[in-house]
Structure 1
Amino acid sequence: MSSPVRLLLVDDDPLVRAGLASMLGGTPSVQLIGEAANGREAIDAVRDLRPDVVLMDIGMPVLDGVAATTEIRRHAAAPEVLILTTFGSDDHLINALRAGAAGYLLKDAAPAEILAAVLKVAAGESVLSPQSTRQLMTQAAHGDPGTRRTTARAALAQLTDRERDVVQAVAEGKTNAEIADVLQLGVATVKTHLANALTKLQLSSRVQLALLAHDAELV
C-alpha cells in the first residue's frame, strides 16, 4: 500500500498492547491509530477511527473478539480483522473465520510474521499460521463430504463463470495481482468480481470463500 496501514489494536492486556504498539507502531508501513481493551470498545473505535486493519484478541471481557468481529464485518467498508490470540482450538479458529476474520495467528508468532500478516490482510489477502491451516484441513475431513459438497456447489451456482474462476483462484491462495495475470483481467476487475461473489454468497472474507470452494471441490 502506498500509505501506511491504519491499525487498531484490541487486547484486554495492557502489556500486550504496549508490546504490539512498540513493535508495529515504529514501522513506516503501519500507523497505529488507536487501542481498545474489549470487543465493545473495538466496535466503537472502528466507527470513530476507521482503521484499515483491526488486530483482534479473542478472549476479552464485555464482548469477545469473535462477537466483535461479527459486528464489525457486517457493515459496509468494514476494516479487515486479523486475529492474534493464545487460543489455538478448532472451535475458536472456525468461529473466527466464520465471523469474517481475514487471518488467524497465535501470539507466539514472530514479530516479522505479525507485521507481514497485517500488511497482507490490508492488501486483501488472507493469512493463516501453519498450525491453523492444519486444523482447517482436519476440520474439513469431518462431517458428511457429500452434504458439504452439494450445499457448497448450490451456493456457488449463483455466481457467474468469471466469478467462480476468481473464487477458485482465491482458494488456490493466489493474490489479486496473480489472479489478474492468470485470468488476463485488470486488478480492479478482479476486485469487482470478488466483491460481487462475497455479496451474492453473503460472506465477508476471502477465507470464507476458500472454505466454500474446498467444500465444493473446486480445488
Structure 2
Amino acid sequence: MRIALVDDDAFVRGLLVSTLGQEPGVEVVWEAGSGEESLEKFAVEPVELILIDLQMPGMGGTATIQAFQKLDNPPMMIVVSTLTTTDKVQAAFRAGARGYFMKEDNPALIADCLGRALQGELVFSSKCSMVVVEQLKGASTVAPSKMSGESVWEGVLTDRELEIVGLLADSLETKEIARRLGTSIETVKKQVQSLMAKLGVNNRAGAVAAAFRAGLLR
C-alpha cells in the first residue's frame, strides 16, 4: 500500500511516518506541507491513499480533497485533523474523504483502518463517531439525496432506524439492541438490513459514516 502524508505540521508528519512506516505492507512514498505541494507531488508519483489535515495555509484540506477528486484516478483521501465540529466533518466527506481521524488518535489505529478504507469501507475514529451519532440522534426528518458513488435512496430512515444507527456505533450486538429497544432480534435484523439498504452499504461499520456522508444531519 503506497501512501502519502499532507500536513503543514512537520512533527505530526514525522510521527505518522515513524508509525505507519513500520506497518507491514505500508510504504510512505512522500510528504507534503500544503495542498498545492501534494497535488504537484502526486502528479509525479501517484499513491493509493493520502492522509490529509484540514487546517493548512493556502489551499485547505477540504479544497485539496475536492481538487484530487477531479483527477482521472484520484487517491483514497483520509482526514487526520484536530477539528471535530460537525460542519467540518460533513464538508470533508461531501468533498470525497473516505475516513476521518483525530490527531490524538493512536497512529496504530489509523494504520489498522487503511486497508479497510481501500476496500471501500468508510472509517472513523471513536471520537468522530460520537460527534456523528449525537447529531443523528437529534435528527427527526431527513431528505433523500444522491451523493457521488451512492445510489438514490428508495426511502429515508425512520426514527427507529436512526436510533439503531446510534446503537450500532456503540458496537452493540443485535441481541443487546433488541433488549434495549424492547423488541425481537428478528425485528432488529430486518431494521438493520433496511437502514443499510437505504444508505447503500453492506456492513454495519459503514452505516453511521454513510448516513452522515449522505446528508442526514439537520
**TM-score, normalising length: structure 1:** 0.67
The residue type equivalent to 1:168 in the other structure is: G
**Counterpart of 1:126?**
122
1:149 corresponds to which of 136, 143, 151:
143
Instruction: For residue 150 of structure 1, report the CA deviation from its aligned partner.
Output: 4.6
Q: Do 1:6 and 1:51's aligned partners in 2 also have CA atoms closer than 8 Å?
A: yes
2: CA distance between counterparts of 1:48 and 1:135?
37
Q: Do 2:50 and 2:76's aligned partners in 1 also have CA atoms closer than 8 Å?
A: yes
| Alignment pair present for 1:90 and 2:122 | no
**Counterpart of 1:169?**
201
Mapping 1:7-22, distance limit 5 Å: 7-22=3-18
1: CA distance between counterparts of 2:197 and 2:87?
30
The residue type equivalent to 1:172 in the other structure is: R
**Counterpart of 2:42?**
46
RMSD of Structure 2 on Structure 1 (CA) = 2.9
Look up the SS of the partner of 1:169 in the other structure. Answer: coil
Change (3 A) 1:149 1:64: same
Q: Structure 1, residues 79-129: CA drift from partner, whole Å, max 9, x if none?
A: 101101111111211111111100000011112201112222122221011
Q: 5+ residue gaps in structure 2?
A: 155-195
**TM-score, normalising length: structure 2:** 0.68
Q: Which runs of 4+ in 1 moved over 6 A?
A: none
1: CA distance between counterparts of 2:117 and 2:12?
21
Look up the SS of the partner of 2:205 in the other structure. Answer: coil
Change (3 A) 1:34 1:133: same
2: CA distance between counterparts of 1:49 and 1:132?
31
Q: Do 2:153 and 2:199's aligned partners in 1 also have CA atoms closer than 8 Å?
A: no
Q: Which protein is bigger by CA-based radius of gyration?
A: 2
| Alignment pair present for 1:116 and 2:148 | no
The residue type equivalent to 2:134 in the other structure is: T
Q: 5+ residue gaps in structure 1?
A: 158-163, 176-205
**Counterpart of 1:191?**
none
Q: Do 1:46 and 1:72's aligned partners in 2 also have CA atoms closer than 8 Å?
A: no
**Counterpart of 1:137?**
133
Look up the SS of the partner of 1:33 in the other structure. Answer: strand
**Counterpart of 1:99?**
95
2: CA distance between counterparts of 1:150 and 1:66?
24
